[in-house]
């Protein structure tokens, strides 16, 4: 009975479990999966997380799965199914299904071949830019074609050297816009392969010097040197360099330029110094000559000092002359006198002046003929030395001379009145006279002089100062008058008038224009008679001159006799 009860209860429980069986609950069923396959690929390994299932507090039993995770699935759409059943009832089951879609697409980048390695390029030292070259890379793609999309540089491009390292990039793409890049670096290194550059190096320099010189200091322009390093050394060979003294003949100047790596350049110059006479002779040529003749005369002989020619060579010869000193020249026919000289090197010099013969009826004129001179001396004085300012002489021709002078300056004069006479004549025989008196008076009241050789008037010695002061005042007045006269005579006349002074002695016996001695044809003026004033004296410009100095102004001339 008891056994029957157990069987009944077991049957009831089985019936109850079958009647009330529960389907499994699935967890983590994957979503649909989309994958890409490369072109030409037939399958793709697809992975997922497998789902799980439970029935109550029990795990459901996996009764079926169509694919395992990571299993290769074909290109296209695949359905993956997981089925779970209840442990109590195989008919109580649940399924998990999801879709795996595999599409064939191009996902691979192009493949680049021959991408250059980074390399170093060299450039000349001192350059601001340099070039570099390389083999260009290529690319392939599974789609069948890859295209060069761009590049930063081309082979042979010039690179600025503000940096030594430059990046070069090539970019390739395929039809699916997959990108591949080739990148390498070009590093530049400076090298010096060039010697210093020498510009404007003169090959030969010729210098001419005077025959009296034994050489010359010689300099020249250039050469100009530069080097890509910016530095170089200069080595001078031999004793000569720019600016040296070079002797007559050939001398070589050799200069070597060396850069920091030892590369050299040379400038060689031959300096030739030659003695050549290029200077013409120097001639001291007479000035133009004007000679006067008496009315009615048609010609006269004119003399002059022949030109003097000198030359640095020491050798000069007269080649030609049109006239000689002493030749005959005619009135109112000015003629040019011409001399031609040549030295041993063929250098020439010429000299010319005009000789003009004119009818001269105008006599010379004395200018500044002294006033009469008076002196008072004591009875013990034996002769007084009297001095005066020499008169000037003017004439319209170049030939005028003092032919008679009765007394010299500083001559001793004695008691009484003495006539001092100057007489002059020009080349036409026209004459002029300057006459003044020297009067010496004896005053017995004057004291004897302490110096017997004194040449001035002596003061009285009666013990009073009155006469002495009067004599001093008189002396001062006379000196002032002489000083004013001297300053006036030292002025240079500014028109065509020039001043000359005589420079030779004239004997007391003289020759008149007729040739007779002792002035038989010269008519002295009466004692005390004065020459008329010189008419039409040009305006005076104050320009002081030393007495006895000949000016360069042409005639008519004022002459101051000795």
pLDDT digits (tens, 9 = 90+) for 340-363: 999 988 999 999 999 999 988 788
pLDDT of 435 reads 94
pLDDT of 476 reads 61
pTM of the model: 0.36
pLDDT of 362 reads 82
Return all residues near 479 (Cβ < 8 A) that are at least 6 apart. Answer: none
What are 370's two structure tokens?
């002294």
What are 62's two structure tokens?
């996996």
pLDDT of 292 reads 86
State CA 270 to chain mean position distance.
Answer: 26
Q: In which region does residue 518 sit, left (phi positive, over 0), alpha (psi from -120 to 50) or beta (all else)?
A: left
pLDDT of 489 reads 41
C-alpha closest to that of 172 among 112, 105, 108: 112
Separation CA 537–CA 178 (nearest Å): 121
Separation CA 397–CA 289 (nearest Å): 8
State CA 532 to chain mean position distance.
Answer: 67
Dihedral sign for Cα atoms in the order 472, 473, 475, 476: positive
pLDDT of 96 reads 95
pLDDT of 545 reads 31
Strands (E), 28-157: 33-37, 43-45, 52-55, 58-59, 61-65, 72-74, 76-85, 93-104, 111-113, 119-124, 129-131, 138-140, 146-151
Separation CA 198–CA 232 (nearest Å): 11
pLDDT of 533 reads 38
DSSP 275: E
pLDDT of 110 reads 93
Q: Which stretches of the chain score pLDDT less than 70?
A: 1-21, 449-562
| Total number of residues shown for the chain | 562
pLDDT of 540 reads 30
First to last CA, the chain: 206
Q: What does the DSSP assignment read for 123-172?
A: EETT-SEEE---PPPEEE-TTS-EEEEEES--TT-EEETTSSEEEEEEEE
Separation CA 269–CA 248 (nearest Å): 16
C-alpha distances out from residue 396 to 221, 405, 501, Å: 60, 22, 15
| Alpha helix (H) residue ranges in 247-333 | none
Cβ density class 482-492: b for 16+ within 10 Å, e for less: beeeeeebbeb
Return all residues near 106 (Cβ < 8 A) that are at least 6 apart. Answer: 38, 39, 141, 142, 143, 174, 175, 176, 178
């Amino acid at each position: 009975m008891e056994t029957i009860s157990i069987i009944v209860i077991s049957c009831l429980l089985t019936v109850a479990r079958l009647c009330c069986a529960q389907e499994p609950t699935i967890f983590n069923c994957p979503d649909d999966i989309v994958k890409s396959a490369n072109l030409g690929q037939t399958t793709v390994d697809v992975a997922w997380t497998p789902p799980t299932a439970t029935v109550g507090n029990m795990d459901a039993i996996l009764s079926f799965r169509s694919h395992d995770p990571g299993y290769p699935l074909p290109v296209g759409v695949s359905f993956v199914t997981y089925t779970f059943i209840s442990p109590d009832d195989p008919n109580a089951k649940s399924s998990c299904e999801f879709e795996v879609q595999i599409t064939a697409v191009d996902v691979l980048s192009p493949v680049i071949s021959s991408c250059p390695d980074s390399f170093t390029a060299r450039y000349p030292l001192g350059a601001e830019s340099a070039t570099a070259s390389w083999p260009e890379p290529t690319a392939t793609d599974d789609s069948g074609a890859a295209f060069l999309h761009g590049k930063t540089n081309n082979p042979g491009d010039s690179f600025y050297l503000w940096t030594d390292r430059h990046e070069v990039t090539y970019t390739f793409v395929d039809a699916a816009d997959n990108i591949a890049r080739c990148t390498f670096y070009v590093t530049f290194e400076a090298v010096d392969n060039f010697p210093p550059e020498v510009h404007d190096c003169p090959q030969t320099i010729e210098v001419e010097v005077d025959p009296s010189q034994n050489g010359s200091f010689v300099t020249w322009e250039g050469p100009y040197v530069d080097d890509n390093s910016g530095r170089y050394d200069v080595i001078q060979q031999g004793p000569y360099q720019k600016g040296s003294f070079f002797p007559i003949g050939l001398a070589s100047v050799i200069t070597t330029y060396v850069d920091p790596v030892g590369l050299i350049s040379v400038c060689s110059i031959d300096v030739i110094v030659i003695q050549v006479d290029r200077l013409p002779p120097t001639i001291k040529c007479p000035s133009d000559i004007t000679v006067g003749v008496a009315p009615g005369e048609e010609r006269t002989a004119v003399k002059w000092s022949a030109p003097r020619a000198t030359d640095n060579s020491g050798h000069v010869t007269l080649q030609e002359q049109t006239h000689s000193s002493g030749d005959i020249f005619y009135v109112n026919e000015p003629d040019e006198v011409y001399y031609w000289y040549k030295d041993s090197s063929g250098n020439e010099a010429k000299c010319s002046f005009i000789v003009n013969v004119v009818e001269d009826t105008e006599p010379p004129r004395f200018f500044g003929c002294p006033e009469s001179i008076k002196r008072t001396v004591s009875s013990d004085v034996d002769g007084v030395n009297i001095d005066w300012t020499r008169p000037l002489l003017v004439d319209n021709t170049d030939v005028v001379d003092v032919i008679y002078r009765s007394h010299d300056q500083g001559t001793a004069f004695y008691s009484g009145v003495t006539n001092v006479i100057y007489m002059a004549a020009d080349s036409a025989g026209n004459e002029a006279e300057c006459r003044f008196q020297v009067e010496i008076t004896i005053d017995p009241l004057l004291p004897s002089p302490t110096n017997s050789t004194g040449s001035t008037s002596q003061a009285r010695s009666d013990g009073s100062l009155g006469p002495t002061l009067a004599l001093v005042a008189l002396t001062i007045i006379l000196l002032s008058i002489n000083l004013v006269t001297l300053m006036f005579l030292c002025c240079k006349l500014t028109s065509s008038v020039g001043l000359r002074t005589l420079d030779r002695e004239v004997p007391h016996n003289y020759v008149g224009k007729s040739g007779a001695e002792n002035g038989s044809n010269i008519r002295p003026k009466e004692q005390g008679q004065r020459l008329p004033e010189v008419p039409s004296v040009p305006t005076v410009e104050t320009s002081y001159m030393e007495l006895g100095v000949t000016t360069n102004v042409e005639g008519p001339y004022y002459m101051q006799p000795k």
